[in-house]
Chain A
Amino acid sequence: MSRANYRNGMPGDTTATPIRTTVTLSAPNRGRTRPEPERPAIESGDARRRLRAAEMALLDEHRLLTGEELAGLAELPDQWVTSLAALAHQVRLDWCGPEVEVEGILSAKTGGCPEDCHFCSQSSRFDTPVKATPFLDADEVLQAAEETRAAGASEFCIVLAVRGPDERTMQRILELVPMVQEKTGLNVAVSAGLLTDDQARRFAAGGVHRYNHNLETSRSFFPNVVTTHTWEERQDTCRLVRDHGMELCCGALIGMGESDEQRIELLVQLQELDPTEVPLNFLNPRPGTPLGDGQPVAAWEAIRWIALFRLGLPGVILRYAGGREVTLRELQSMGMTSGINALIVGNYLTTLGRSADEDLQMLSDLRMPVGAITGVL
C-alpha cells in the first residue's frame, strides 16, 4: 500500500494551521503502487535552505552535488517535489539547453538471453510470454530505422538480448551500423551486453557513436536482481566504452525494491562513470519474471526521482525510457519540466509505447525544440 500520510509535518511557520482534508483514496491506482519510505519531518525553512544550497552549487558554482547533498534533497516531503522539479528543470536548461533528443529503439534479437536479470522478460530462465526470436534481417532493421526517422528522431539504437556479442553478432552489427547510418542519416547506437576490450575497440572503429550498457541499480542492490554476472562486470564494460571514445549511455531502472539510499548510491556511481546519456526506466512488472508481481512506482514518486536524477547528473542526456506510460500516465509532460531532456518514441523492446505523435505534440505544447544533443559537458 502506498501511504498518503507521510508524517512530514506542515511547513514550520507559526501562522499556518494545518489544513486537514479528509481525502477519499479512490483514485484507481492508489492501492497498487510501490510502497514508499516514511520520510522525516522537515521544517520549511530547512527544506528551502537545502534547495537554495543545491541551486547555488549547480547554477552558480556549476559543480556536482555530493551524495550527502542529494540524500538531503531526497528526503524532502512530498509537497516539495514541485520545488525539486522546478530547480531540476532550471538546471537542465542551464547545463544542457532547451533541446529534446528523440530516439527510436529496436530489439533486433529478442528473448532467449542466458542471464537472469529479475526484471527482464527476455531471460530464458523465466517462463514469460516472450518467445525467443533470431536476429532480424537487414531489411527489417532498416525499416525500423525509417519508422524512427519518420517519427522525428535523430537517434536509433539497435538492441540485442545477449550476455555479450559473439563473433557472428559482432559482424552483423558492424554491417548494420554503417548501412543504417547511410540510408537514414540517423546516429546509430548499439546495446549488445558485456564487451571485451577488443570488441569495444571494434565497435568504436565501426561507427557506433554511442553504446548502451545499463548499471540498472546500485552496486549494493545489484546482487538482489542479477546473479549471472556482477555489477563490476557492467562497470568494466561502461569504462571500456568510454576508453575507446564512444559515448556512454548508462541507464537506471527504478522500482525494483531498492531503497532511497541505494538510489543515491547509484547516482554517485553514475557520476563517477560520467555517461553522456542516462535512460531512466521505471519497473513495468513483467509476467513470469521474479519481479512480475511488483507494483509500479507511484507517479509523484517518479517525478521526485526524475528531478533528483537531473540534480545528481546535471549535464547528462536524461532520457525517458521504459515504463513511463505505466508509471506516470497523465504526469508524462511534468517529467519533461522536471529534468528529462530526451525520450524514446514509439514502441520499446518488447512492449508498446504511446504514439510518437502524442509525444511530439507534447513537446510542441511545451515549446521544447527537438534536436540532437551531443558532447554535453
Chain B
Amino acid sequence: MTGESTAKVAFCTGCGSMSASCPGCGRTLDPPRFCPTCGRRLTVAVTPGGYRARCREHGDLALD
C-alpha cells in the first residue's frame, strides 16, 4: 500500500513521478520502468521482440 487515498493517482511510467503526463519522459525507445498505478519500479525483461513489465503489487502491465 502506498497510502494514497484514492486510486486516481497515476504515475509516469518513465520516471515514476506523480504525473501520468510527465513532460520530461517522451521516450519512445524505453520500456515502462515504473508502475502507472503505484509508481513502484517495475521488473522489466526486454527481449528482441518485446518486453514484459511486472509490478510487485499490480502484476503484468498490458503491452501498449
Q: Is the CB of A147 within 8 A of B50?
A: yes
CB distance from A160 to the nearest CB of B (A): 13
Q: Is the CB of B47 within 8 A of A133?
A: no
Q: Is the CB of A129 within 8 A of B33?
A: yes
> Which B residues are in CB contact (< 8 Å) with A351?
29-31, 46
Known contacts A129-B34, A130-B44; A346/B49 CB under 8 A: yes
Report how far A131 CA is from B46 CA in the complex, Å.
12
Q: Is the CB of B48 within 8 A of A352?
A: no
Known contacts A129-B16, A131-B43, A347-B46; A353/B29 CB under 8 A: yes
Q: Is the CB of B48 within 8 A of A130?
A: no
Report how far A140 CA is from B46 CA in the complex, Å.
11
Counting CB contacts under 8 A, is A316 at the interface?
Answer: no
| Segment touching B, from A99-107, A195-203, A270-278 | A99-107
Q: Is the CB of A287 within 8 A of B15?
A: yes
Counting CB contacts under 8 A, is A325 at the interface?
Answer: yes
Q: Is the CB of B51 within 8 A of A347?
A: yes
Q: Is the CB of B44 within 8 A of A325?
A: no
Known contacts A131-B44, A140-B45; A347/B15 CB under 8 A: no
Q: Is the CB of A130 within 8 A of B51?
A: no
Interface residues of A in 121-152 (CB under 8 A from B): 129-131, 133, 136, 140, 143-144, 147-148, 150-151
Which of A153, A352, A356 interacts with B31 by CB under 8 Å?
A352
What 1/0 mask marks residues of chain A from 101 to 121 whose CB sits below 8 Å from any chain B CB?
000111100100000000000
Report how far A105 CA is from B43 CA in the complex, Å.
18
Q: Is the CB of A129 within 8 A of B15?
A: yes
CB distance from A304 to the nearest CB of B (A): 23
Report how far A351 CA is from B14 CA in the complex, Å.
12
Q: Is the CB of A352 within 8 A of B41?
A: no
Number of interface residues of A (CB under 8 A): 31
CB distance from A41 to the nearest CB of B (A): 38
> Which A residues are in CB contact (< 8 Å) with B48?
104-106, 144, 147-148, 151, 153, 345-347, 356
Which of A151, A345, A348 interacts with B46 by CB under 8 Å?
A348
Counting CB contacts under 8 A, is B38 at the interface?
Answer: no
> Which A residues are in CB contact (< 8 Å) with B33?
129-131
Q: Is the CB of B30 within 8 A of A133?
A: no
Considering only CB atoms, which chain B residue lies closest to A153 in the complex? B48
Q: Is the CB of B29 within 8 A of A147?
A: no
- Residue among B15, B16, B29, B31 with max Cβ neighbours from chain A (10 Å): B29
Q: Which residues of B contact A (CB under 8 A)?
A: 14-16, 28-31, 33-34, 41-51
Pairs A-B, 9 closest by C-beta atoms: A147-B49, A346-B48, A129-B33, A104-B48, A144-B47, A131-B41, A147-B48, A352-B29, A148-B48
Q: With A129-B14, A144-B49, A326-B29 given, name 18 new contacts (CB 8 A).
A: A106-B47, A106-B48, A110-B45, A129-B41, A131-B42, A133-B44, A144-B47, A147-B47, A147-B49, A151-B49, A347-B49, A347-B51, A348-B46, A351-B30, A351-B31, A352-B46, A353-B29, A356-B49
24 contacts between A and B (CB under 8 A): A105-B48, A129-B41, A130-B33, A131-B44, A133-B43, A136-B45, A140-B45, A140-B47, A144-B47, A144-B49, A147-B47, A147-B48, A150-B49, A151-B48, A326-B29, A345-B48, A346-B47, A347-B47, A347-B50, A350-B44, A351-B30, A351-B31, A352-B30, A352-B46
